[in-house]
Structure 1
Amino acid sequence: MKKLISLFFFSLLVLLLLSGCDSNNVNNDIFKYKGSYIGDNNAVGDIVSHLPGGDLLQGFELKTDTRPYGMILIYQGIKGESFVKERAICNATFIFALIQNVEWITFKFEQQEYELTKENLQDWYGKDLSDFSSENELRELTQNYLGDESKVNQLFN
């Protein structure tokens, strides 16, 4: 009985992780921003607000004074370690694919903070994110990797 309950909860966790980058959560027009620059506040603001959890985004800071350029995204209301990791990976994947000159992103959640670099995320995927040209391709990539909890944890270690 314990094994059955454990299997049920593990399956539920996998389903939650896989639904994190669901097409309903990402605006279908988001690839119109492909090729944007981190200095374009309007484009960056539109991108991050249309990503999963955009409604919980409290603010963002663009760090463009010196290279490497980056950003800080501040969220409220997103909890649970595995869920925030999944959110960070999904959103960073889209941001790095769409914004040409962003090299790092710090995600500040209520109880966790994570920094991802474009280089590390691309190495993790084994793919250049700027090569992607559609939301569906990018969503499929993220879903393939988010299902493996040990692989997800490897990125953050």
Structure 2
Amino acid sequence: MNKRDKFIIILFVLGFVSYFSIDVFIDSLAVNEEQNLPTQLNALEHDFTTALQYKSKYMGDFVNLNSLNGSLPLTNRHPFTLELNPEVLSANIVFAYNLSSSELIELERDFIYSAIANLVLIENLEKITYQFNDYSYSLTKADTENWYNIELTKLQSEQLWKNTIQSTLSDNYLVGLFFEKVVIVSSNQN
């Protein structure tokens, strides 16, 4: 064998090994992502640090707000449309389906988590509404700050978020009480 043939064989072997190494690496990343997906769909286990990257002073950054909502428990399970109302500093997350009664307690947890995350991470957002075909659920920054007795921007700390918001979501009584006292529920039926 001459030098040229050896060189070609070495390049072939290196290419072959590189291809399979990269393929295995990409597959392992996909497996890790799939394993994390169930926890990202659940408000009780969601990793708030994944949402922190979308922190912004202004709600007008549509791509950022859309990405934030795509990373949160309520909105990363179902397709949604985002509507901004900058004149009143509010956002509507619109879903094109009806809620079932079996979804309500999980929806309440995910709503509280996702809505408060929006109000915490988008500093000038004053109100957020999640609109389904049959009902709409709204939350204001002022009512949430009064309920928790804390300025919401302080909840941008992962540990404070866990202790103040996430840990309370496992208590069905507190979730129900928050919904009763703080959340504005409207029927969309004519």
Q: Into which bin does the TM-score normalised by the smaller protein fall?
A: 0.7 to 0.9
Using the TM superposition, name which of 137-146 and 81-90 deviates more.
137-146
Q: 1:1-157 residue pairs with structure 2 within 5 A? A: 19-23=42-46, 28-53=49-74, 54-64=76-86, 66-67=87-88, 69-75=89-95, 76=97, 79=100, 80-157=103-180
SS of residue in 2 equivalent to 1:132: helix
- Runs of 4 or more off by more than 6 Å in structure 1? none
Percent identity reads 24
Which whole-Å deviations, capped at 9, do the CAs of 1:22-73 have from their partners, x for residues lacking one?
A: 135x5x4421222341111011011001111323132111111x23x10111
Q: Which runs of 5+ in 1 are unaligned?
A: 1-18
Q: How far 1:131 sits from its partner (Å)? A: 0.9
Q: How far 1:119 sits from its partner (Å)? A: 1.2
Using the TM superposition, name which of 147-156 and 82-91 deviates more.
147-156
TM-score by length of 2: 0.62
- Where relative contact order (Cα < 8 A, 6+ residues apart) is larger, the structure is 1
Q: Cα–Cα, structure 1 residues 78 and 140, in superposed 2: closer, same or farther, change >3 Å?
A: farther
Provide the alpha-carbon RMSD of the alignment.
2.3
The count of corresponding residues between Structure 1 and Structure 2 is 135
Q: How far 1:110 sits from its partner (Å)? A: 4.8
Q: How far 1:78 sits from its partner (Å)? A: 6.3
Q: Cα–Cα, structure 1 residues 151 and 23, in superposed 2: closer, same or farther, change >3 Å?
A: closer
TM-score by length of 1: 0.73
- One-letter code aligned to 2:91: M
CA contact (8 A) 1:21 1:139 kept: no
